[in-house]
């Protein structure tokens, strides 16, 4: 019987030798985040960009499992299944845990891991252990709140936004509380610390010391990637001397991981050798509807200007074209007005009532909150641009929709301007 120690040796992030033999996949099911790091910009429409927080598509839990089955059939060495964003797994706790439940049922012998900022992790540790999660990574960039406050723009906890040292203290207390509880549950703990020149490069050894005292197993000192449109975009990358010095000092307290590939939230394959076809697969599976009884939902709603193309955002559409599938092809049966503006979330509940006989809606864009509300009312939301017939083929006949939309940026909600106002 495979033990946790055996699994630790097979995990490529915890055993450098395994990176040549054990493949891993990150399932991008967690779009929202509960903190704003000054080095993070979670744009996810560029498949050529390789850094944490980036994904080409976001999957629902049922889509993630089907995607995983496909990947497993293509790889004979898929050993590790993880969730690392593109936001934080526990800012999306329902989606994360539902995914892990489904994955654990289908692949009980795989290694399961998660990567989090730790803010909302603690309350879920017992269930993670029950779901056979064996490895958890927490990103801790400082243990001094005055330094932490320089790294994060805001922290959103219990539906309230905190800034500065106040927010830093809340985040730090929650992070540190997780380490001994994870260890008590038999879970291996890795600490990620971003080396940010001028901010924390001399402080990270203190992070290693404190986390070692609490029981952490490994630390990964990751050089900053200066990212456009962030407060740290002009900060210089750490040079090799700074990286070497930081890792050497940290090694006095914790084992060092030095082979990190700084993986995307949708990475799949061996470390540093990701499968190129995963982006196309993600696009395909992110458009799939969950199998359900649709006998009382014969229609599909479409956001369109002229009845030929899907080209309207949910909020800007004044009306929706309603289509059905007949033996002679697709037929537009009527036009229905969008719900009245200015009523907040009530607007989307009213729209769901208007579309109660529709199994899906095709639109060019939608915020996460209305998307979740429509989904909760049984309406599959597909973001795409292009021919209506292609979308209808996908919904009614299970064909691949190749014109899935790629939003410019992923924020915490449709109304979020970087001020933590759009989550929920």
Question: Of the given ranges (24-33, 238-247, 282-291, 341-350), which has the lowest mean pLDDT?
Answer: 282-291
Rounded Cα distance, 326 and 322, in Å: 13
| Contacts with 76 (C-beta within 8 Å, 6 or more apart), sequence order | none
Residue 103 has pLDDT above 80, yes or no: yes
**More confident site: 335 or 22:** 335
In this prediction, residue 277 carries a pLDDT of 73
Which CATH number is 4-284 given?
Answer: 3.20.20.70
Residue 405: pLDDT band (50, 70, 90) is low
In this prediction, residue 227 carries a pLDDT of 81
Average pLDDT over residues 44-54: 51
In this prediction, residue 89 carries a pLDDT of 92
Residue 42 has pLDDT above 80, yes or no: no
Instruction: State the DSSP code for 315.
Output: T
In this prediction, residue 10 carries a pLDDT of 64
Residues of the chain with CATH 3.20.20.70: 4-284
Q: pTM (2 decimals)?
A: 0.71
Rounded Cα distance, 298 and 294, in Å: 7
Average pLDDT over residues 31-45: 78
In this prediction, residue 417 carries a pLDDT of 42
Average pLDDT over residues 341-370: 87
Q: How far is CA 27 from CA 82, 96, 115, 137, 249, in A?
A: 6, 9, 11, 15, 34
Residue 409 has pLDDT above 50, yes or no: no
Residue 268 has pLDDT above 80, yes or no: no
In this prediction, residue 244 carries a pLDDT of 94
Residue 407 has pLDDT above 50, yes or no: no
In this prediction, residue 412 carries a pLDDT of 39
CATH top-level class for 293-397?
alpha beta
Q: Across the beta sheet with 160-162, what order do the strands follow?
A: 35-37, 152-157, 160-162
Residue 278: pLDDT band (50, 70, 90) is confident
Residues of the chain with CATH 3.30.420.130: 293-397
* Burial class of residue 361 in the structure, from the number of CB atoms within 10 Å of its CB (0-12 exposed, 13-18 middle, 19+ buried): buried
In this prediction, residue 159 carries a pLDDT of 87
Average pLDDT over residues 35-47: 70
Residue 274 has pLDDT above 80, yes or no: no
User: To the nearest whole percent, how much of the chain has pLDDT over 70?
Assistant: 82
Question: Of the given ranges (242-251, 258-267, 374-383), which has the lowest mean pLDDT?
Answer: 258-267
* Burial class of residue 191 in the structure, from the number of CB atoms within 10 Å of its CB (0-12 exposed, 13-18 middle, 19+ buried): buried
Question: Of the given ranges (14-23, 319-328, 372-381), which has the lowest mean pLDDT?
Answer: 14-23
Q: Quick one: tokens of 302?
A: 């479409």
Average pLDDT of every residue of the chain: 83
Q: Report pLDDT digits (tens) over 161-206.
A: 999 999 999 999 999 999 999 999 999 999 999 999 999 999 999 9
Place of tokens 């971003």: 194
CA torsion, ordered 129, 131, 135, 137, to nearest 10 deg: -90
In this prediction, residue 4 carries a pLDDT of 52
Helix (H) or strand (E) holding 174: helix 164-184
Average pLDDT over residues 82-100: 90
Question: Of the given ranges (43-57, 136-150, 284-298, 346-360), which has the lowest mean pLDDT?
Answer: 43-57
Helix (H) or strand (E) holding 143: none
**More confident site: 396 or 261:** 396
């Amino acid at each position: 019987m495979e033990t946790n120690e055996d699994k630790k040796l097979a995990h490529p992030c915890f055993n450098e030798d395994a990176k040549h033999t054990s493949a891993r996949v990150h399932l991008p099911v967690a779009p929202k985040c509960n903190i704003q790091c000054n080095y993070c910009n979670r744009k996810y429409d560029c498949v050529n960009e390789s850094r944490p927080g980036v994904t080409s598509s976001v999957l629902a839990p049922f889509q993630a499992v089907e995607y995983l089955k496909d990947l497993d059939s293509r790889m004979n060495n898929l050993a590790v299944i993880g969730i690392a964003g593109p936001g934080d797994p526990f800012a999306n706790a329902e989606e994360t845990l539902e995914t892990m439940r489904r994955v654990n049922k289908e692949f009980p012998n795989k290694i399961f891991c998660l990567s989090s900022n730790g803010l909302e992790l603690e309350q879920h540790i017992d269930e993670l252990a029950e779901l056979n999660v064996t490895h958890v990574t927490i990103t801790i960039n400082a243990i001094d709140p005055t330094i932490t406050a320089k790294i994060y723009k805001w922290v959103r906890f219990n539906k309230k936004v905190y800034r500065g040292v106040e927010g830093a203290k809340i985040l730090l207390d929650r992070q540190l509380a997780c380490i001994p509880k994870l260890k008590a549950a038999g879970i291996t703990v890795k600490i990620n610390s971003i080396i940010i020149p001028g901010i924390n490069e001399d402080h990270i050894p203190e992070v290693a010391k404190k986390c070692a005292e609490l029981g952490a197993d490994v630390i990964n000192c990751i050089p900053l990637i200066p990212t456009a449109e962030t407060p740290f975009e002009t900060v210089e990358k750490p040079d090799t001397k700074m990286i070497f010095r930081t890792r050497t000092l940290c090694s006095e307290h914790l084992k060092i991981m030095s082979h990190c590939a700084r993986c995307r939230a949708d990475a799949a394959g061996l470390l540093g050798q990701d499968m190129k076809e995963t982006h196309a697969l993600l696009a395909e599976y992110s458009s799939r509807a969950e199998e359900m009884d649709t006998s009382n939902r014969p229609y599909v709603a479409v956001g369109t200007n002229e009845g030929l193309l899907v080209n309207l955002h949910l909020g800007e559409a004044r009306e929706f074209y309603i289509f059905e599938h007949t033996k002679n092809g697709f037929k537009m049966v009527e036009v229905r007005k969008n719900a009245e503006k200015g009523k907040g979330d009530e607007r989307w509940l009213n729209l769901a009532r208007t579309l109660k006989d529709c199994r899906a809606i095709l639109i060019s864009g939608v915020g996460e909150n209305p998307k979740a509300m429509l989904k909760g009312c049984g309406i599959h939301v597909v973001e795409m641009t292009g021919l209506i017939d292609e979308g209808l083929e996908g919904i009614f006949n299970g064909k691949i929709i190749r014109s899935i939309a790629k939003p410019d940026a992923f924020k915490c909600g449709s109304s979020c301007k970087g001020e933590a106002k759009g989550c929920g």
